[in-house]
Amino acid sequence: MAPHPTLFDEASAHLPLFDDLSDATVDRLAVGGFGRGLLTASLRARLRKGGFAHMGALALATPAGLMALRKVGPVRVGAIRAHILDELARFLPDARAMHDRVTTDWRRLDRLRTVPVGALGLVPALIERFGSNGPGWADLAALRRIEVARTLGVSGAEVDGIVSALVRAVRPDPRSMPSPRTLREGDTPCGMDMGKTEAELLRERDREWDEAAPERRALSRQAT
């Protein structure tokens, strides 16, 4: 998160890394496990323990949810997002244009611009004070927490309420969101070998990657 986050930054921490992914896309990410080169074996194990068993689950995870895990901070969340975007670009021609961070943020701000001020039961004090002439959702999202408190005369708890309302306003329609069936380890996405569990396949991929790691490190030392 930025050093002086806006309310939009705070809300974004509680929104999925990626919007508008179909079930088929999430399933395809899930089949790929964590892919090649994502973090270390210990961190991959920590992600699985936290309920993020593959790239499909990570794509639907929130930054706040990921950073609740030990040794996962903003830099690693950014690396995870970039890694998944690279994977999406392998089979979705317009992935980078549709799902890079800037485009995703603009799409979410566009949603905010279409939401009436009182549509989601914004902080009652603001409704009473400004009615339909109050600041719009996009206006509020662009402000920092301290600016909202000082300008509108609301408490910290009421600012928390605004952030929660922003999350609800920006979150895509649940009917268009992928189902949660691919989120947990042990589910078997379509097209996978039914003779093996997903967990077994993911562990095999990790072993192959880790076995190749010493050779890659040796080549790297020779190059330097």
- Provide block-wise average pLDDT over 10 residues at a time, the chain (224 residues): 83 94 94 85 88 94 94 92 94 92 93 71 60 72 89 83 88 50 39 40 48 44 44
Q: Is residue 103 part of a domain?
A: yes
Q: Can you give the pLDDT at residue 17?
A: 96
Beta bridge partners of 144: 6
Q: Is residue 12 part of a domain?
A: yes
The dihedral region occupied by 164, where left means phi > 0, alpha psi between -120 and 50, and beta the remainder, is alpha
d(C-alpha 137, C-alpha 170), whole Å: 10
Residue 191: φ, ψ to 5°: 90, -5
Range of the domain at 181: 7-185
Q: Which residues contact 136 (CB under 8 A, 6 or more apart)?
A: 112, 113, 115, 117
Q: Is residue 78 part of a domain?
A: yes
Q: Can you give the pLDDT at residue 117?
A: 60
Q: Is residue 197 part of a domain?
A: no
Contact 139, 109 (CB under 8 A): no
Q: Is residue 14 part of a domain?
A: yes
Upper half-sphere CA count for residue 200 (Cβ side, 13 Å): 7
Q: How far apart, in Å, are the Cα atoms of 196 and each of 28, 52, 185, 189?
A: 17, 19, 13, 12
Q: Is residue 53 part of a domain?
A: yes
Q: Can you give the pLDDT at residue 150?
A: 84
Q: Can you give the pLDDT at residue 198?
A: 44
Q: Is residue 155 part of a domain?
A: yes
Overall number of domains in the chain = 1
Q: Is residue 17 part of a domain?
A: yes
